[in-house]
Structure 1
Amino acid sequence: MTIESVKEYYGQTLKGSGDLKTDACCDPSAMPEHVKGALSLIHDEVLTRYYGCGLVIPEKLEGMRVLDLGCGAGRDAYALAKLVGPRGFVTGVDMTPEQLSVARGHIGWHMERFGHTRPNVEFREGYIEKLGELGLEPASFDIIVSNCVVNLSPDKRAVLEGARSLLKPGGEFYFADVYADRRLDPSLKEDPVLLGECLGGALYWNDFQNLARAAGFADPRLVTSRPIEVAEPAIRRALGEARFFSATYRLFNIEGLEPACEDYGQAVIYRGGISHSEDVFVLDGHHRVEKGRVFPVCGNTFRMLKESRFAPHFDFIGDFSRHFGIFPGCGTAMPYSEEKTAPASIGACC
C-alpha cells in the first residue's frame, strides 16, 4: 500500500516542484558555485520533473563510484555524474517507470554536454528496500546518496542494511531526510499526501539513530539540520503537535566503531587539497577542521578520517594505546538541537 501510493504520487500526481504542499523537500541554504555549474548543464525536461530544491553533494567526489537512491528523473544523478568526472561512475535507482523514462532518455545528451567520451551514469528500476536484487556488486560503491527518500520507505532498516552491503570499507551513506521530534501515529502513513510530502513516514530522530546502529552504522553523524515549516492548515491539523526537521547525516561503513566518543589523546591536521573545501573541512556539526591547525578528535572521528577517502588530506597524531575516558563534549546531536551544526559543502532534503 505504501509503495504503490508513493509510486502514484511521484509518477502521476506531481508534475513539478510547484505541486508540493510543504517545504519538506527544499533547502534554502546557498548552493556552492561548482554545484550551480553542474546543474546549469542538465536538460530542462529532467529539471522540470524534479520534486524538490535541495541537492545532496558530499565532499571529494572526483573519480568516485556513487549510488543515488530514489533518483527520480535523474537530476541529482546527472549533477553527480558531472562532478565525479569521466573516471567516476553514478548509478541511479528508482521504482517509478515514468521518472526513469525521462532519466534514461537523456544519457547521450548529457554525456555530450559534459564532454565525456562514454557514459558514466546508468539508471536501474527497482526498490531501495531490495538493493540486493538489482545486480549491483557488493562492497563496490564509495558513496551512496539519497535526498528525501528513506522516509518514504515502509522498511527503513532494509534500506540501511542494503546500503551498507554495497559500500566499500570506509565508504559512506550521505543523505538528507525528514525526521520528527516524536513517534507518529501510524495512520499518517495511510494518507497519500502526508506520505508523499515526506511527513507521514518520517522517523522519530532517536529511532533513526538506533536503526542506523542496528544496521551496522555505529556512529551516525549529523551534518546539518533545519526546521520544516508546515503552513497548509489541513496538513498541520493532521500532524498535531509533532515538529519536523530536515537533516543531513553521514554514516560510515567502518567496522568496530565504538558506541560513544572515546578519548585516546589523538588529533588530526588538515593539509587541504579537497576541492571546494581548501581552507576548512567540515565532517559534521561538531567537526570544522581548519587547514594546518592541530584538531583534537575522538577515536571514532580519527578512524572516519583515516579509513575513508579523506585520509590523504590529513596528518594523524596518536594511536589507540592509551585511553583517557569519554571525549569532552561527546553526545548524540538531535536535528535542530541547541548544539550548533556547521554547514557542510551542501546539505539538502529534502
Structure 2
Amino acid sequence: METTHSEPNAAHVHDSVKEYYGKILKQSSDLKSNACVPSAKPIPVYIRKALTEVHPEVTAKYYGCGLAVPECVQGCRVLDLGCGSGRDCYVLSQLVGKSGHVTGLDMTEDQLEVARKYIDYHMKTFGYQKPNVNFVQGYIEALRDAGLEENFYDIIISNCVVNLSPDKASVLREAYHVLKEGGELYFSDVYSNAPISESLRANKVLWGECLSGALWWEDLVRLAEEVGFSKPRLVTASVISVGNEELEKLLGGYKFVSATYRLFKLPKHSEKERCLVMYDGNITGLEEKFEFDAGYIFKVNEVMEVDGDLANILKNSRFAEEFTFQTQAQGNTTPGSCWAKPKVVPASPFKLAEQLGSASVASSTGLCCGPQESCCK
C-alpha cells in the first residue's frame, strides 16, 4: 500500500534538521513548542538514579519526548537511533553493564561532538575500565551504510527522532535488518491524528519542532506490518500542547501525542497461541511488577492470561527467561483456578492519553495505569 502522502526531499530535510539541531538549538529551552514532553508514566527509581549520573551539558541538549529506556537490558547490545548528545546512551550504558554495549547513531556532527566529549567522563563515573559506548555518524534510514551489522542488536531505541526522518518506512526496514531475531524496537515519538498536509510538511520550523513530520498513528501500524515487525504494542501516551500561538495557528485542527511503542522482530511462522504466564520478578528494578505495555501489568508470581501476539513475543525475545509459561488447558486443570486479566485499552494513542489523564503535560511524573483487573474479584 502506498503512503497517503509523498515524502519531502530527503537531502533537503536532512540538511534542515542538521542546521536546526546543530546550529539553531543550543539547549532544550530553545525549542519553540512543547513537543518534547516528559514521560506519562512515573520514571522508575533505578532509571532516575541513572539519569543523575549523566553530565549536565549532555542533559541540556536533550530533545526527547518521553522515556525510551526499556527493561531487562543487562548484557544487551543496544542501538540508539538519533542519539543526539547521548543522554539515553549514557543512561543505558549503566543499565547494560560492563558486559553490554551501547551504540549511538546521529547525522548531526555538532550533537555527536558533545556525546563523544564525555565518554571518558562517564566511563570513569560508572567505574568501567573500558568504554561500553561508541558514537557513529550516519542516517537512521541507512544503518547498514553507516557500517552497522545485520542481525546484531538485541534492542534499538529512539526518542523523538523518527518524525524527523523524510522516509519512515526505510527507518523501520533498516531497524528490522540490524536487529537480531527476537530483538526489539522500543521508541517514543510524536504522532498526529490525521495525515499532515503537504504545505505544513514543507515548513522547516514545524518539521524541526517534531510536528509536521509526525506520522499519522495508523500509518505506524501499517508500516510495521509491511516491514515484518510484530503488531505494535502501545506502552504509554501523553497529549502534546503545542504552546505556541503562531505555530498552533499554522497547524489548524491537527492534534498530537507523544507515544511509546514496542515492536519485535520474531521468527517467521511462529505460533500465536493464547496462554497463561507468571512473571518471576527477576528483572532489575522491577522485582514486584513489570508494566509491559498499557494493557499488561505483570505482578510477581501472579498468573495472567496473555493474547497470542504477546505470548509469541514473550516466548521468542529476551523476556523468555523472565516468565513461566503454561497453556490455558493446563491452567484449567486446577479446580477453582483463576488468573489476572489485562486492562482493556484503546488502540489509539490519543484515546489512551485521555484515559491516562495526561493533558497535564507539565507534570514530570504523570499518571500510570490503574490497578490490574483480576477474575478473582
Contact 1:223-1:341 within 8 A present in 2 as well: no
The answer as to 2:134 corresponding to 1:122 is yes
Structure 1 gaps of 5+ residues are 321-326
CA distance in 1, matches of 2:65, 2:188: 12
Specify which structure has the bigger relative contact order, considering alpha-carbon pairs within 8 angstroms and separated by 6 or more residues.
1
CA distance in 1, matches of 2:313, 2:238: 25
TM-score by length of 2: 0.84
Q: Which residue of 1 aligns with 2:38?
A: 27
Alpha-carbon deviation of 1:37? 1.6
Instruction: Give matches, 1:174-213, under 5 Å.
Output: 174-213=186-225
Alpha-carbon deviation of 1:88? 0.6
The answer as to 2:30 corresponding to 1:14 is no
Relative distance call for 1:78 and 1:319 in structure 2 (3 A) is same
Contact 2:231-2:263 within 8 A present in 1 as well: yes
What SS class does the counterpart of residue 130 from structure 1 fall into? coil
Q: Which residue of 1 aligns with 2:227?
A: 215
Instruction: Give matches, 1:205-284, under 5 Å.
Output: 205-256=217-268, 264-284=273-293
Alpha-carbon deviation of 1:189? 2.0
Q: Which residue of 1 aligns with 2:349?
A: 335
Alpha-carbon deviation of 1:55? 3.1
CA distance in 2, matches of 1:163, 1:125: 16
Contact 2:79-2:102 within 8 A present in 1 as well: yes
Q: Which amino acid is 2:164 matched to?
A: L
Alpha-carbon deviation of 1:116? 0.3
Question: Which of these residues, 314, 318, 321, is aligned with residue 312 of structure 1?
Answer: 321
The answer as to 2:27 corresponding to 1:2 is no
CA distance in 1, matches of 2:196, 2:53: 40
Q: Which residue of 1 aligns with 2:115?
A: 103
CA distance in 2, matches of 1:6, 1:187: 17
Contact 2:165-2:213 within 8 A present in 1 as well: yes
Larger CA deviation: 134-143 vs 152-161: 134-143
Instruction: Give matches, 1:135-150, under 5 Å.
Output: 135-150=147-162
Deviations 1:116-155 (A, max 9, x none): 0111000000000010111111111110000000000000
Larger CA deviation: 329-338 vs 79-88: 329-338
Q: Which residue of 1 aligns with 2:300?
A: 291
Instruction: Give matches, 1:35-74, under 5 Å.
Output: 35-52=47-64, 54-74=66-86
Alpha-carbon deviation of 1:109? 1.4
Q: Which amino acid is 1:78 matched to?
A: Y
Relative distance call for 1:311 and 1:341 in structure 2 (3 A) is farther
Q: Which residue of 2 aligns with 1:324?
A: none
CA distance in 2, matches of 1:340, 1:233: 26
What stretches of structure 1 move > 6 A for 4+ residues in a row?
327-332
CA distance in 1, matches of 2:281, 2:196: 43
RMSD, matched Cα:
2.6
Relative distance call for 1:311 and 1:135 in structure 2 (3 A) is same
Contact 1:2-1:190 within 8 A present in 2 as well: no
CA distance in 1, matches of 2:343, 2:38: 28
Contact 1:50-1:75 within 8 A present in 2 as well: yes
Contact 1:286-1:341 within 8 A present in 2 as well: no
What SS class does the counterpart of residue 128 from structure 1 fall into? coil
Contact 2:66-2:259 within 8 A present in 1 as well: no
What SS class does the counterpart of residue 18 from structure 1 fall into? helix
Contact 1:194-1:200 within 8 A present in 2 as well: yes
Contact 1:24-1:198 within 8 A present in 2 as well: yes
Relative distance call for 1:230 and 1:6 in structure 2 (3 A) is same
Q: Which residue of 1 aligns with 2:8?
A: none
CA distance in 2, matches of 1:67, 1:85: 15
Question: Which of these residues, 302, 307, 310, is aligned with residue 311 of structure 2?
Answer: 302
What SS class does the counterpart of residue 141 from structure 2 fall into? helix
Relative distance call for 1:315 and 1:237 in structure 2 (3 A) is same
CA distance in 2, matches of 1:311, 1:204: 32
Contact 1:284-1:342 within 8 A present in 2 as well: no
Relative distance call for 1:10 and 1:193 in structure 2 (3 A) is same
Structure 2 gaps of 5+ residues are 1-11, 330-340, 359-364, 367-377
Q: Which amino acid is 1:122 matched to?
A: N
CA distance in 2, matches of 1:41, 1:331: 35
What SS class does the counterpart of residue 226 from structure 1 fall into? strand
Equivalent residue pairs, number: 337
Larger CA deviation: 331-340 vs 121-130: 331-340
Alpha-carbon deviation of 1:21? 1.7
Relative distance call for 1:18 and 1:253 in structure 2 (3 A) is same
What SS class does the counterpart of residue 129 from structure 2 fall into? coil
